[in-house]
Chain A
Amino acid sequence: MSEHSGHSEHSEHSEHSDHSGYSEKDVQREVSELQAKSATAARIFDLRRIIGGLFVIYGVIVTIAGISPSDADLDKAEGVNINLWTGLGMLALGLFFLAWLWLRPTAPPTPEVLPDERAE
């Protein structure tokens, strides 16, 4: 790729910089160029959906396990219906993430416009 001519360029350019042969300016330019072409901001999915989804599923499974606990399970857990409480807690956390996503949706990706103006 022609954009990546950075390497050959700075090897000439930095010959007078005899110490590291590589200056902060080179790093700044190289990383800025790559950041301009980066696709993560525009294409990465929203993690809140995954956390929310997984914890809702886990919450349902564990809550169901706690709906009619056997005596053995209750005895084991010091008389606490731990499956019910943990399940409801996980369900609540999952719903929290989904609600957050719903109230503050991902900023629509600004597709391929000036990459320097990447949205929040």
Chain B
Amino acid sequence: MQTPTTHTYLAAELRLPTNWPDYTILGIYFVVVLGIGFAARRSVRTSLDFFLSGRSLPAWITGLAFISANLAATEILGMAANSAQYGAYTVHWYWIGAIPAMVFLGLVMMPFYYGSKVRSVPEMLLLRFDKWAHLLSSALFAFAAVLIAGVNLYALAIVVEALLGWPQWVAIVVAGAFVLAYITLGGLSSAIYNEVLQFFVILAALIPIVVLGLKKAGGWDGLTDSLTKAHGADFTTAWGGTGIGSDNPLGANWLTIVLGLGFVLSFGYWTTNFAEVQRALSAKNLSAAQRTPLIAAFPKIFIVFLVMIPGLTAAALVPGFGTADSGYQYNDAIPYLMEQLLPNGVLGVAVTGLLAAFMAGMAANVSSFNTVFTNDIWARYVVKGREDEYYVRFGRLITVIGVCASVGTAFLASSFSNIMSYLQTLFSFFNVPMFVVFIVGMFWKRASAVSGFWGLLAGTVAAMVNYFWIYKQDIIDIPSDQGANFVSAIVGFVAGAVVMVAVSLFTEPKPAEELQGLVYGTVSPGMSEPPAAGDDAWYRRPALLGWGAVVLAAACYIPFSF
């Protein structure tokens, strides 16, 4: 899930001493990225190939793409910043704020998504509710995706300017052009293949930073000792100081963490955000689709260490890291350690990893945007019934337009001091109402066709009113942006649910035969496919993978709880 960070600007003295081997590594990466785009182009024959990889990819690829789409650089820098500022609270964004939702997606929701053969999350709403819910959710999603792609592009530009000295517009044009090229050429296959590659490059970038950082800070014991001395004992625990009414820098207590982050925000992001779900929908069969988020859950449990430890290390090495006195911002944690610790060679890998992560974050949004805009808006309401080739061409065209629009929104992002908080605000506006409509529609078959639209509208408006009016105008005092996001999410969820129930009680239910495979307890015809050979192996059983991830995440809390 998304993190709070305070500032986006990197300290100007963080210029990295890159040399030609570093640039060779970066250059090879860009060549390979484009090569994947050109090679994937051959595989695009139908619109299903372009937007959903022909529903044919194996689970390990979709699973790693699923995690990589989330592992954008805003997430990496933001989580490290979060750790430098708040300490080990960061683990909540992973172990309670991601794993339960990912497992729920794989075990409970994926049979409905994949089995009904929908091509997008909004299309599911079209089947379950009506075209108004569909149109509203498609429009909201397309809008959010462009904004978030723009945030990634803007964040990339300021990091590249600080680290490499490239002017912002050069970074924006270069990164935008590469993402544009490989998605326009190869569609989703190209985006997914690049995401899997990015996953490994990002790991290769972060692991040396963690190892050397820990060594410099005197190992884990040395690290916790100096942090306890500087910030108090709660800084290296997950739950210390989160009692209701007690004060902590996060501005949240255990209840808002569990309900706001762990339930509403997290489930909204992981289960109904099409940029994530799209990866699972491109899997080759139902078993692979179910395993996509479950395979992703295991790296997700451990990635927190790769981003939290650099943040904690920076906080331990530099007294007052992140405050004005130190000369560094919280977001500088990883760039600071790169500059301090990495010699040329590994430094090139780390720079490549960061750029790869920015491109992954942007590409995931662009590739889901073009799918929703083409299939759900254009082909459904604007230009209907043309031949399939037309929609492939249109998908390529709208990719170009989407990238150009996100360059524009990059400038919008610059007016918010806290990029990640801004992202999370957007997610609470767009994902949470979508999630409530989904969950009510899936588990309550009485929910009527028109209730979807009103629930979605009410949830979105309520979350926005809470954020922009009640919080920003200080009607109620909430200590931090992050705390306000948690509350906005809960408000949006409750408002959406209440309105859906009220509207349903006064309107006709949907006939039972139209709900087959769309509500819990029914089976869609698509799920009767026989399982593929080998999918019954014990290590491929979704229930085992899912519950294994939950147990492992819970076990990870133990050393951070006492």
Tell me the A residues contacting B by CB distance below 8 Å: 1, 3-4, 7-8, 11, 17, 19-24, 27-28, 31-32, 34-35, 37-45, 47, 50-51, 54-55, 57-58, 61-62, 65-66, 69-70, 72-74, 76-78, 80, 82-83, 85-87, 89-90, 93, 118, 120
Residue B267 CB within 8 A of the other chain = no
Chain A CB within 8 A of B404 CB: no
Chain B residues with CB below 8 A from A57, complex form:
28
The answer on a CB contact under 8 Å between B204 and A80 is: no
Main secondary structure of the interface of A (DSSP, over half): helix
User: Which chain A residues border B117 with CB–CB below 8 Å?
Assistant: 27-28, 31-32
- Besides A24-B518, A34-B388, A40-B53, 20 other CB < 8 A contacts? A20-B130, A21-B131, A24-B127, A27-B117, A34-B47, A37-B46, A38-B49, A43-B42, A54-B32, A58-B204, A58-B349, A61-B21, A65-B346, A72-B343, A73-B344, A78-B215, A80-B215, A82-B343, A86-B346, A120-B284
How many contacting A-B pairs (Cβ < 8 A)?
197
- CB contact between A23 and one of B208, B514, B526 (< 8 Å): that residue: B514
Q: State the B residues within 8 Å of A (CB).
A: 21, 24-25, 28-29, 32, 35-36, 39-40, 42-49, 53-58, 61, 116-119, 123, 126-127, 129-131, 134, 189, 193, 196-197, 200, 204, 207-208, 211-212, 215-216, 284, 340-346, 348-349, 380, 384-389, 449, 510, 514, 516-518, 524-526, 532-534
Contact indicator A77/B212 (Cβ below 8 Å): yes
- Distance between Cα atoms of A78 and B510 in the complex (Å): 67
Given contacts A20-B130, A40-B56, contact A4 B343 (CB under 8 A): no
Chain B binding surface, main DSSP class:
helix
* B24→A50 contact, CB < 8 A: no
Residue of A nearest to B118 (CB): A27
B48 near A76 with CB under 8 A, answer no
Contact A31 B212 (CB under 8 A): no
A44 with B40, Cβ < 8 A, contacts A7-B385, A22-B126, A57-B28 known: yes
Nearest B residue (CB) for A42 = B43
In the complex, what residues of B have CB within 8 A of residue A28's CB?
Answer: 116-117, 524-526
Could you tell me the distance between the alpha carbons of A100 and B223 in the complex, rounded to whole angstroms? Answer: 39
Contacts of B32 in A (CB 8 A): 50, 54
**Cβ-defined contact, A38 with B346, below 8 A:** no
Contact partner of A82 (CB less than 8 A), chosen from B28, B46, B342, B518, is: B342
Q: Please give the distance in Å from B354's CB to the nearest CB on chain A.
A: 15
